[in-house]
């Protein structure tokens, strides 16, 4: 099953809550709460907050795209993120103590589409999944696709058959292509969030990604 993860890029905490309300009613995948990725760009809107909005209805993943991201990891942990994606080795190192215990946090390491798979060398025990960026300039939604991303997914899948690979950025037009290349999870922002009916858009993308025949 290819998992679809809606992504929200909120400018403030109130916008995050409004967008989550629009995502209510998404069909559960495999009988569990749906994950939502919260993109942190510009400033950490989660700092000082105790819980996510609608935390009883969704599980949360943070994608930290901020300067000095190692300083932002703690805010995501404190608010209850179940998964955290980082783009820097220093932040990945800070996540290590939180990957065990009663409430372990899954650590994701992001690769740019132009990165070599060799970047993962000597890091394999430090992450739980890899996120391939489908766009060249991260930090905003609706950007054009980077054609190198599909090939990177294909190469990673061939080299790491059991690796959990998710893709973020310009995914919607290439959902089936990424699924066939070997992605397990597809992070999709504006195609769901900006749709007139987010639930219908979600269902359509899920069907397309899982139609591998």
- CA distances 3 to 35, 126, 150, Å, are 9, 23, 17
pTM of the model: 0.94
* Segment 145-156, tens digit of pLDDT: 899 999 999 999
* Segment 90-141, tens digit of pLDDT: 999 999 999 998 889 999 999 999 999 999 999 989 999 999 999 987 766 6
Q: Which conformational region is residue 60 in: left (phi greater than 0), alpha (psi within -120 to 50 degrees), or beta?
A: beta
CATH of region 3-210: 3.20.20.70
Going by C-alpha positions, the residue among 170, 167, 175 that lies closest to residue 142 is 170
Asked whether the CA dihedral 162, 151, 63, 189 is positive or negative, the reply is negative
* Segment 168-202, tens digit of pLDDT: 999 999 999 999 999 999 999 999 999 999 999 99
* Segment 48-91, tens digit of pLDDT: 999 999 999 999 999 999 988 877 899 999 999 999 999 999 99
């Amino acid at each position: 099953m290819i998992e679809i993860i809606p992504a929200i890029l909120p400018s403030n905490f109130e916008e995050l809550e409004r967008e989550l309300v629009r995502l209510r009613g998404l069909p559960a995948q495999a009988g569990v709460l749906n994950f939502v990725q919260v993109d942190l760009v510009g400033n950490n809107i989660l700092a000082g907050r105790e819980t996510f909005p609608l935390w009883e209805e969704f599980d949360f993943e943070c994608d930290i795209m901020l300067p000095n991201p190692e300083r932002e990891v703690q805010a995501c942990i404190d608010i209850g993120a179940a998964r955290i994606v980082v783009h820097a080795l220093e932040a990945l190192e800070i996540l290590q103590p939180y990957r065990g215990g009663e409430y372990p946090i899954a650590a994701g390491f992001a690769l740019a589409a132009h990165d070599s798979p060799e970047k993962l060398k000597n890091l394999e025990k430090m992450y739980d999944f890899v996120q391939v960026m489908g766009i060249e300039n991260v930090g905003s939604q609706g950007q054009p696709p980077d054609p190198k991303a599909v090939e990177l997914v294909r190469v990673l899948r061939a080299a790491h058959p059991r690796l959990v690979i998710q893709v973020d950025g310009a995914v919607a037009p290439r959902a089936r292509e990424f699924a066939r290349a070997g992605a397990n999870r597809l992070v999709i922002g504006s195609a769901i969030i900006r749709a007139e009916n987010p639930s219908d858009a979600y269902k359509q993308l899920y069907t397309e990604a899982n139609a591998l025949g």
